[in-house]
Structure 1
Amino acid sequence: MLSLLKRVFTSFGPPVAEKQGDPIRFGVLGAADIASVTTFWSLIAALTPPLALITPAKSHPEVIVQAVAARDRIRAEAFAKKHGIPDVKDTYQDVLDDPNIDAIFIPLPNSLHYEWAVRSIRAGKHVLVEKPAVDNEAEAKLLFNLPELSRPDAPVLLEAFHNRFHPAVQKFLTFINPADVVHVHTDSMVPSWFTSKDDIEFNFKLGGGSMMALGTYNFAMLRMVFVDEPEECLTCSTNVYADGIHDQCDYDFKAQFRFPNGGIGEATTTLRGPLWWKPSEARVTHREVVVPDKTLPASQEKVQTRQVTLHGFMHAVLWHRIDVKDSYLIRNKADSRPVKAWTETSSHKAYTYRDSGGKFASAPGEDWWMSYRYQLEEFVNRVKGSETQYWVSGEDSTKQMRMIDMAYGQSGLGLRPTSSFV
């Protein structure tokens, strides 16, 4: 318990690193005010810049949050004062026009991601844009194929899929053989008392919907487990506020996808969950495979069925657990009659890449690093031209939006609207 408290306390209040060399100077577009929080999603909007950038930047020796702008300058000034940001700009464009700013963080509503990511790239800035990076695949194809991104001195563009950078997710994947996966169940939720239908997550024009808010995490986990893209969205059922205003935005959904190996991936999310918050979960079931065993007579065979579950795939620094359950059976080959059956289980955690034991075992990190801190480390590495251990490419982000479009198309709610920005 003491180690957990220490880890979480340090995560939210990390040691301040002395800035070195030529640090990357960030500008932030948007300054949600924690004082005006009334619902869960306004809380998320208020916490996103601090958790996703400002807090991890404190412990990174090569990052400075230099400037912020908001629609309301007074709010931006209060935000800057609270978080020790030196410069306040009148407009988002003023941040982009500042030659001292190297990179832009975009935590705006989903519908504004595309426009301001494009504007930032055209201003020659590196971009860290909150997920989902855009509202649909059409926007993704335009954004991630901008001519500016193919130049030798191209800016770095990253969709901020922070949880994918955490060692827990990477260790989880080491227990999985994608070719043998037959079924994956993923779920995520927030309690109903945390949400209101007046939240931006239920505003269709702003790119709202539970698939965009939480479901996109589920979809990404499915794609990572199968190491492939879904061929088809088989089903997608949703529930909406049927009031004629919010009825294009799902407050929950359940979708099933078929993947090329024949496996089924299931994603379910609700923004109106029960009273207690249930950690996100990804549960992977493998097909039965024959395990070589030279101790057995030629007439018998040993088979294994594996199930791997990651509890807490979204915010693993707070708590997570990886459960591995291997069910074994020895049977006669002739008639499949069972001879012996047993189960072996184990549980694992990985707060650092040293714990992961995988291909990233030598990567830096501390047990108190949030997934956002791991993400920032890689973003800086890419900007500085250093080796990155893990990355979410533009092609990956485009395929992610294709999967979201599949689900919305199957649901009957329709794709999220494309930006009018040219």
Structure 2
Amino acid sequence: MAALLSRVYTAFSPPTVEKKSDAIKIGILGAARTAPLSLITPAKSHPEVIVQVIAARDHSRAEAFAKKHGIPEFKTSYQEVLDDPNIDAVFIPLPNSLHFEWSLRAIRAGKHVLLEKPATANAIEASILFSQPELSKPGGPVLLEAFHNRFHPSIRAFRSLINPAEVEHVHTDCMVPWVLADKNGIEFNYDLAGGSIAHIGTYTFTLLRLIFDAEPEECLSCETRTFGDGIHDRCDKSSKVSFRFPNGGIGEGTSTLWGPLLWKPSEARVTHRQVVVPDNTLPSDQEKLLTRQVTLHGFMQAFIWHRIDVKDSYVIRNKVDGQPVKTWVESKSQKVYSYKDAGAEFANVPGEDWWMSYRYQLEEFVNRVKGRRTQTWIGAEDSINLMKMVDMAYEKSGLGLRPTSSFG
């Protein structure tokens, strides 16, 4: 318990380090309530990041946000930030419907972009955004879709325990208690590309693709629930989506922005097909079989708590009649808060057990901007394919795609 409290306390109150002379100066577009967790707090412990300016369309809100979070400058126009030659990069935590426009504007202004997920409202926008010519130029802008949880070392350890070709079924789920959501907020505004799938459902979708190491061939079903009030009817407050992947495996993603008060940690549970395991100690008329289940509890905020469980179920059976001779289960669990915990090969990879996934993400963003090697990255194809998956789900649900921006 003491270790947990120390880790969480340090994560939210990290040591403030001296900034290097060539630190990346970042501007935030929008005084979003997620910005402190996503960028401002992680930046305190990064010597190459300075959060220089916040822009909000309301003057008083911009000023108050800057003072509260110790940001040197504030502006009342997003474009002012993009026009500022002293700003190297921007973080965009705006409503989903504005991601496309302001990412395009930022890229064309030569700014690096850390873009809150989902990158766009739909796959049409994603295909246009990630194919911008500036992104392929040497020394050009870096664009990263901020799926923070993908950067935590627990994901790397979890994935190493899975054989994608043998995955038979995957269950993923994540939730937000209803008291933390606003029925009339951006999450449930169709014009702002709202909906449970578009928000936290994307976390489950990206994990499914990572686990299967493939893109889904078909959306088999998409069950959604809305408020049914005639106002929010095109925005799902909860969803359960099922996909078929190329190896025949089924992946399910369940999400809700209107969950119960009793919070449940997010979960990814992977069941492999039963496979024959070579064992030279067995008689020739017997064979040994293995069914592996790997579960990651707490993939959303792994720095607070998570656990990776591996359950290997063995059977020794007769080859002729298939009758079991012996059965047993071997189980193990692990927690991976830093790359040092992930194995000897990662011993020199930076990271502390108190680093949030946002801090690991920021590390990689800076590395890419500085032209250094990255351990984890989410590339253009990855982001485009994720939005295709989101579109598949919304088409299957009958709620329809989130609207495409008119900005060009």
Normalising by the residue count of structure 1, what TM-score does the alignment of the two structures yield?
A: 0.95
Aligned residue pair count: 408
**After the TM superposition, which residues 224-303 of structure 1 pair with which residues of structure 2 at under 5 Å, given as runs?**
224-303=210-289
Is the 8 Å Cα contact of residues 160 and 375 (structure 1) preserved in structure 2? yes
Alpha-carbon spacing, 1:361–1:238, altered in 2? closer, same or farther (3 Å) = farther
* Per-residue deviation, 1:162: 0.3
| Regions of 4+ moved over 3 Å | 358-362
Q: 2: CA distance between counterparts of 1:248 and 1:182?
A: 32
Aligned counterpart, 1:407: 393
> What amino acid is the match of 1:93?
Q
- 1:381-410 CA distances to partner (integer Å, 9 max, x unpaired)? 000001111100011000000000000000
Helix, strand or coil at the partner of 2:237: strand
1:98-247 paired onto structure 2 within 5 Å: 98-247=84-233
Partner residue in 2 for 1:349: 335
User: Paired residue for 1:41?
Assistant: none
Which segment is superposed worse, 333-342 or 353-362? 353-362
Q: 2:46 aligns with which of 57, 60, 69?
A: 60
Partner of 1:37: none
SS at match of 2:362: helix
Tell which deviates more after alignment, 209-218 or 85-94. 85-94
How far apart are 1:333 and its partner, in Å? 0.9
The answer to whether the 8 Å contact 1:174/1:358 transfers is no
Structure 1 residue 21 displacement after superposition: 3.5
Query: Kindly tell me: are residues 235 and 28 of structure 1, through their superposed partners in 2, closer, same or farther at Cα, counting changes over 3 Å?
Result: same
For residues 63 and 325 of structure 1, the distance between their equivalents in structure 2, rounded to whole angstroms, comes to 42
1:273-320 residue CA offsets vs partner (Å, 9 max, x unmatched): 222000000000000011111111111111000000000011100110
Aligned mates of 2:237, 2:355 — CA distance in 1: 31
Corresponding residue for residue 38 of structure 1: none
In the alignment, the residues of structure 2 paired with residue 131 and residue 361 of structure 1 have an alpha-carbon distance, to the nearest angstrom, of: 30
How far residue 90 of structure 1 moved from its aligned partner, in angstroms, is 2.6
Alpha-carbon distance, 1:189 to partner = 1.0
Distance apart, 1:361 and its partner CA: 4.8
Equivalent in the alignment of 1:330: 316
In structure 2, C-alpha distance between the alignment counterparts of 1:29 and 1:284, rounded to whole Å: 38
Whole-angstrom CA distance in 2 between matches of 1:212 and 1:266: 15
Counting aligned pairs with the same residue, the percent is 68
CA gap 1:410/1:361 in 2 versus in 1, 3 angstroms: farther
1:18 maps onto 2:4 in alignment: no
Q: Secondary structure at the match of 2:7?
A: helix
Change (3 A) 1:318 1:135: same
Q: Does 1:311 align with 2:300?
A: no
| Residue of structure 1 in register with 2:27 after alignment | 27
Confirm or deny: 8 A CA contact 1:170 1:358 kept in the other structure. Answer: no
Shift of 1:359: 5.9
> Over aligned residue pairs, what C-alpha RMSD do you find?
1.0
1:365 alignment partner, one of 317, 330, 351? 351
Whole-Å Cα distance in 2 between the matches of residues 349 and 235 of structure 1?
34
Write out per-residue CA displacement over residues 35-59 of structure 1, whole angstroms, 9 at most, x where no aligned residue: xxxxxxxxxxx1x111111111100
**Higher alpha-carbon deviation: 251-260 or 270-279:** 270-279
Cα distance between partner residues in 2 of 1:138 and 1:355: 40
Give, in angstroms, the shift of residue 201 of structure 1.
Answer: 0.6
Is the Cα–Cα contact under 8 Å of residues 163 and 169 in structure 1 kept in the other structure? yes
SS at 2:386 equivalent: helix
Counterpart CA distance in 2 for 1:363 and 1:138 is 37
Q: 1:63 corresponds to which letter in structure 2?
A: V
Deviation at 1:191, TM superposition (A): 2.0
- Cα offsets for 1:314-373 (capped at 9, x unmatched): 110011001100000001111111110000000110000111128645311000000000
CA distance in 2, matches of 1:157, 1:366: 25
Matched residues in 1 for 2:345 and 2:397: separation? 38
User: In structure 2, how many angstroms separate the alpha carbons of the residues matched to 1:90 and 1:236?
Assistant: 41
2:371 matched to 1:381?
no
User: Structure 1 CA distance, aligned partners of 2:151 and 2:102?
Assistant: 24
d(CA) in 2 for partners of 1:124, 1:214: 30
Measure, in 2, the Cα distance between the counterparts of 1:28 and 1:73: 15
Mapping for residues 39-50 of structure 1, pairs under 5 Å? 46=33, 48-50=34-36
Distance 2:345 2:324 in 1: 38
The aligned counterpart of 1:416 is 402
Q: Which stretch shifts more, 194-203 or 161-170?
A: 194-203
Task: Point out the more displaced range, 246-255 or 79-88.
Answer: 79-88
- SS for the counterpart of 1:315 is coil
Equivalent-residue separation in structure 2 for 1:248 and 1:359 (angstroms): 48
Deviation, 1:154, is 1.3
Deviates more, 1:366-375 or 1:270-279: 270-279
Cα distance in 1 for partners of 2:392, 2:144 equals: 23
Secondary structure in structure 2 of the residue aligned to 1:133: coil
